[in-house]
Amino acid sequence: MATVWTIPIDITSRWLDNSEVQTFLASNDLDNAAPDPRVRFAQFADVTKSLERHIGHTFSSVQGAATALFDGIDGGVPVALKLAALRLILKEVYQTRHAPQPFPKRVGEELGTYVYALLDPRNRSVFYVGAGRGPRVYGYVWEALAENEHRQTLEDPETDSAEVKAATIARIREIYDSGHEVEHYIVAHRIADTGDVAGAVRRGVVGALGLNEGALLSNLAGGTGEHRAVPVDDLVLQYAAEPVPNLPTPCVVLEVPAASRRGVTQEEVYELSRGAWAAGAAVRNTDDIPVIVFADNIVRAAYRAKSWSSVARPGDAALWRFAGEPDTELESQFVNKRIVPAKVGLKKWPNHGWVPHLTQARPGR
């Protein structure tokens, strides 16, 4: 275990809520603290700005952290405020480094030539963008962590300059030393297959910029998936997954994009899946009708709908919300498997996400 001092992305809210800070601002009896509350507030504001400037930075010693945070502040910083800041950013980390594993060859074939981005989770910023094939997306992390066996699986040579390579590896090691892991995203793939290199480059640039915290690109308006950067793990799941078996008839297939969100719980997936949906009488009158929920072409959950209730939305057609229960048998058959529109007789998924599958012939209401 090692001790580091890392300024997290949510430092401002944590700093404002800190009890030591509140005591400093309210008390006139602290050592080395000015009796005038206006002076103390100005010192507090200076330290706040310094912490915000250093978001994402990690220091291996308390001296290094104190020098970077406080030495440039005119008039100095009271001891009580220094200690409060240093204690807040103190972190003990385990040095175990979980290197990403090579993905199956089939996944690499599906990805083709792709553009990828490496993201620093400490401040949610992209620090490297590259291109390649196969497991190239993991190349620099493997080199930084000395995973030489994994590096033997790389299919294409690294083309960056020595300076870029050194800077990237140094950043990766700093991220892991702070107790975090690099996040890997694919921002455009199958580039050689599209025939539209300029469009692929555009999607890659927009996708990479969209990863940055607070990105305001108008290209991202409406939440369209066209430019969305996708975590590598999600694409590996999608392309390595087995196809779903034949769907039960009747059933309902629901596309719920948020079901693939990182960290989403099963309870949240259920609430997201319930609707409102344009459920016709044929669906609502079928007892215990199976409900198959997917996102990014991967089944995420399976339920049995027990009842339906209307949702009042003025100006819209009747919409309905279901109440149901997870079905373990359906889950074992379908969850984490790949589903495509052709499975229900479609060429593409409808934008509204509602796909009743009432007969073997075609979808219906």
CB 263 within 8 A of CB 183: no
CB 242 within 8 A of CB 298: no
The alpha carbon of 77 is separated from its chain's Cα centroid by a whole number of angstroms, namely: 37
CB 357 within 8 A of CB 250: yes
Question: Can you read off the two tokens belonging to residue 276?
Answer: 């409102």
Mean pLDDT of the chain: 84
Span 14-66, pLDDT tens digits: 999 999 999 889 887 777 778 888 989 999 999 999 999 998 888 878 888 89
Tell me which H or E stretch contains 47. helix 37-53
Helix (H, G, I), strand (E, B) or coil at 96: coil
Span 141-155, pLDDT tens digits: 999 888 888 988 898
Question: Can you read off the two tokens belonging to residue 25?
Answer: 């601002």
Span 29-40, pLDDT tens digits: 777 778 888 989
- What's the CA gap between 50 and 57, in Å, rounded? 12
- What's the CA gap between 219 and 226, in Å, rounded? 10
CB 142 within 8 A of CB 172: no
Which DSSP symbol is given to 100?
P
Q: How would DSSP label each residue in 4-15?
A: EEE--TTHHHHH
Question: Can you read off the two tokens belonging to residue 129?
Answer: 């963008």
Residue 338, φ and ψ in degrees, nearest 5: -90, 135
Residue 188, φ and ψ in degrees, nearest 5: -165, 140
Question: Can you read off the two tokens belonging to residue 324?
Answer: 């149901």
CB 134 within 8 A of CB 156: yes
pLDDT tier, 234 (very low <50, low <70, confident <90, very high otherwise): confident
pLDDT tier, 115 (very low <50, low <70, confident <90, very high otherwise): confident
- Beta-bridged to residue 4, according to DSSP, are 91
**What are the residues whose beta carbons fall under 8 Å from the beta carbon of 254, sequence distance 6 or more?**
273, 277, 291, 292, 293, 294, 353, 354, 355
* Strand arrangement of the beta sheet that strand 298-311 belongs to: 319-326, 298-311, 289-295, 251-255, 354-357
CA distances from 362 to 77, 220, 250, 284, 354 (A): 72, 34, 11, 18, 14
**What are the residues whose beta carbons fall under 8 Å from the beta carbon of 199, sequence distance 6 or more?**
none
pLDDT at position 222 over 50: no
Print burial letters for 328-343: b (CB count within 10 Å at least 16), e (below 16): eebeebbbebbbebeb
pLDDT at position 282 over 60: yes
